[in-house]
Structure 1
Amino acid sequence: MALTPESFSLPDSMWRLLISTGLLLLAIIILRTLTARFIRRNVASSELRGRLLVNFRNGFLLLGILGVALIWGDQIRSLALSIVAIAVAFVVATKELILCVSGAILKSGAGSFNLGDRIQVKDFRGDVIDQTLLATTILEVGPGKTGHQRTGRMVVIPNALFVSEPVTNESFTDHWDFHVFTVPFKREDDWQAAQKALLEAANRHCRPYLESARKHMNKVGVLRGLEAPSVDPRVTIQAPVASEIHLTVRLPVKSGQRSYIEQAILSEVFASTDFFNQEPRPCDDEKQERDL
């Protein structure tokens, strides 16, 4: 089909807008030209003349923009509403992707963790092996929050999770970590002897590298403006329930050796005795007498 001038016809309202815009621009150009000519002829100071020319030029430009905005106001408003509707639909459709990108920017900007760090987000815990713009991949560690064995499973965490959930980074420094584990006892057990044995074993295993760990922690404290944490092994007492005593062991370890040190200390301490009270209780003695 041949193209004719009639096929390009515009509505009358559009023609009125175009004509109004053309007349406005023409008027502004004429006024600007006359004003510039008047300033050049009547202002003697070159500095004042240049300043007036620039100010009037910017003023006429602003006047033109405001005039065009008033003339095309309805069309601009309709276009803006369409753009907003399209933007809202796009955001709703890509909400999860936007959150993933936001999470990647957040964790990178905050320096939450690096490759090789052991992290925990909600119920996911493991060593970071890969990071992309949309997801973070970890090798799961467990069982639970206290285990340090690789489960053999790979977990892909969407970065959107880092926007709404806190991240626990178990790798305090690149070379040394603090490791904490708990040994439960009953109140009637010989937990005092166990406390002493655990502390002696922890000191014995940490002695070869204790001074190096102390120097490194002092350096980290100075670098971050914090008080350097004590690296000496310690065993503290906790009583979560009335009938139990929990001994909490805290000691410095080399990165990646948490499970090894914990198992070495427990094996050494419980190799000779289990510290459990084997004496029969009074109720047990009365039962034995009745049986006799």
Structure 2
Amino acid sequence: MKDLLQWLEKSELAQNGLASLLILVVALGLRSAALRALQRSKLHVDDQLRWRTQIRNVTLVVITVAVVTVWAHELRTFAISIAAIAAALAIATKEFLMCLLGSTLRASGSSFRVGDRIEVVGIRGDVLDIGPLTTTVLEVGPGQSIHQRTGRKITVPNSVFLSNPVTNETTSDDFVLHVLRVPFSASDDWKGARVRLQEIAQRRCAEWVDQARRALAQATPLGVASNLISTEPVVYLEVPDPGRIELLLRFPAPVRRRGRVAQQILRELLGDDRGLDELDEDASSPSGSHA
């Protein structure tokens, strides 16, 4: 008996357990006595039922409050442990959850698909694979001015799609609008070059202008005018610096031949007609980007 008392004095858990048991016994005993007194009373049956319900509810509240008070320290420690575990899990799985959310955002917005040429966080390339956590692209570049595949595969976590804009250069599966920049000095004959550049582009693109218009019209969202995007070759002027003029040619081109067509137009403008028909998409392209 002495050992039992010493154990109870040293064990806080045992003391709390014994206190909880006493609370339960006392509360249930008082409830039983109250119910017997109610049964002997001369109250109407409906009143007795109402009092029985109140006695039951009061007993439950008293037991709950008393037990929580007894175990308050342990419950506080347990709550802190749970909070610490939850925080650790949140930190450990943050990137995982963000990747899943980024994948969901991409799928819900249909921002790109396999085969599209995209640019995100400075990475530009053709999409090879889209997974729940990562997206793999075949790098194109370097920079905006080159359309040559470097041969490097880059895996991007889908979390980048949550906070970074994605540029999709593939408006249509078959055709794109491409921009070719040709710099001139203000003293050069840029006016004549502008006319000649327009003529060359119209001749080179004549065979697919109508096809490109139909393809890009099909890619136009519902409710938007189908002629929103013009596919006719057009030359714009830009003055990036004093004494310097740039001719910007926007023209339609087949997706897999944009670099080749740009090279053909540029070399014909410069009078270099050698091997124009032998150029391929993997040749270095001139300074250009999609509109």
Same-fold call, TM cutoff 0.5: yes
- Displacement after TM superposition at 1:79 (Å): 2.2
Aligned equivalent of 1:14: 17
- Separation (CA, whole Å) in 1 of partners of 2:25 and 2:254: 77
- Cα distance change of structure 1 residues 97 and 205 upon mapping to structure 2, 3 Å threshold: same
RMSD: 3.9
- Separation (CA, whole Å) in 1 of partners of 2:216 and 2:32: 72
Give 2:185's aligned amino acid: K
- Separation (CA, whole Å) in 1 of partners of 2:224 and 2:267: 38
- Displacement after TM superposition at 1:27 (Å): 8.3
- Separation (CA, whole Å) in 2 of partners of 1:29 and 1:180: 89
- Cα distance change of structure 1 residues 103 and 23 upon mapping to structure 2, 3 Å threshold: farther
Aligned equivalent of 2:115: 116
- Cα distance change of structure 1 residues 112 and 12 upon mapping to structure 2, 3 Å threshold: same
- Separation (CA, whole Å) in 2 of partners of 1:114 and 1:100: 17
Give 2:246's aligned amino acid: H
Aligned equivalent of 1:243: 243
Aligned equivalent of 2:77: 78
- Separation (CA, whole Å) in 2 of partners of 1:223 and 1:124: 30
- Separation (CA, whole Å) in 1 of partners of 2:172 and 2:68: 59
- Separation (CA, whole Å) in 1 of partners of 2:239 and 2:194: 14
Larger RCO (alpha carbons 8 Å, 6+ apart): 2
TM-score, scaled to structure 2: 0.71
- Displacement after TM superposition at 1:80 (Å): 2.2
String of CA shifts for 1:100-145, please: whole Å, max 9, x gaps. Answer: 3332233223322111111111221100101222221111101211
Give 2:179's aligned amino acid: V
Provide the secondary structure at the position in 1 that maps to 2:187: coil
- Separation (CA, whole Å) in 1 of partners of 2:153 and 2:145: 18
- Cα distance change of structure 1 residues 12 and 182 upon mapping to structure 2, 3 Å threshold: same
Moved more, 103-112 or 255-264: 103-112
TM-score, scaled to structure 1: 0.71
Aligned equivalent of 1:267: 267
- Cα distance change of structure 1 residues 20 and 183 upon mapping to structure 2, 3 Å threshold: farther
Aligned equivalent of 1:168: 167
- Displacement after TM superposition at 1:232 (Å): 1.1
- Separation (CA, whole Å) in 2 of partners of 1:26 and 1:217: 83
- Cα distance change of structure 1 residues 31 and 233 upon mapping to structure 2, 3 Å threshold: farther
Q: Is the 8 A contact 1:120 1:167 kept in 2?
A: yes
- Cα distance change of structure 1 residues 236 and 73 upon mapping to structure 2, 3 Å threshold: same
Provide the secondary structure at the position in 1 that maps to 2:152: strand
- Cα distance change of structure 1 residues 208 and 79 upon mapping to structure 2, 3 Å threshold: same
Provide the secondary structure at the position in 2 that maps to 1:133: coil
- Displacement after TM superposition at 1:188 (Å): 1.0
- Displacement after TM superposition at 1:72 (Å): 5.4
- Cα distance change of structure 1 residues 266 and 65 upon mapping to structure 2, 3 Å threshold: farther
Moved more, 155-164 or 114-123: 155-164
- Cα distance change of structure 1 residues 76 and 271 upon mapping to structure 2, 3 Å threshold: same
Which stretches in structure 2 are left out of the alignment for 5+ residues?
A: 1-6, 39-44, 274-291
- Separation (CA, whole Å) in 2 of partners of 1:195 and 1:131: 42
Task: Note the 1:25-174 alignment, pairs <5 A.
Answer: 74-174=73-173
- Separation (CA, whole Å) in 2 of partners of 1:231 and 1:25: 86
- Separation (CA, whole Å) in 1 of partners of 2:254 and 2:240: 30
- Separation (CA, whole Å) in 1 of partners of 2:136 and 2:77: 45
Give 1:271's aligned amino acid: G
- Separation (CA, whole Å) in 2 of partners of 1:29 and 1:174: 80
- Cα distance change of structure 1 residues 66 and 208 upon mapping to structure 2, 3 Å threshold: farther
- Separation (CA, whole Å) in 1 of partners of 2:148 and 2:205: 21
Q: Is the 8 A contact 1:106 1:163 kept in 2?
A: yes
Moved more, 163-172 or 213-222: 213-222
In the comparison of the two structures, how many residue pairs are matched? 255
Percent of residue pairs bearing the same amino acid type: 37
- Cα distance change of structure 1 residues 161 and 219 upon mapping to structure 2, 3 Å threshold: closer
- Displacement after TM superposition at 1:202 (Å): 1.4
- Separation (CA, whole Å) in 1 of partners of 2:32 and 2:171: 68
Moved more, 161-170 or 70-79: 70-79
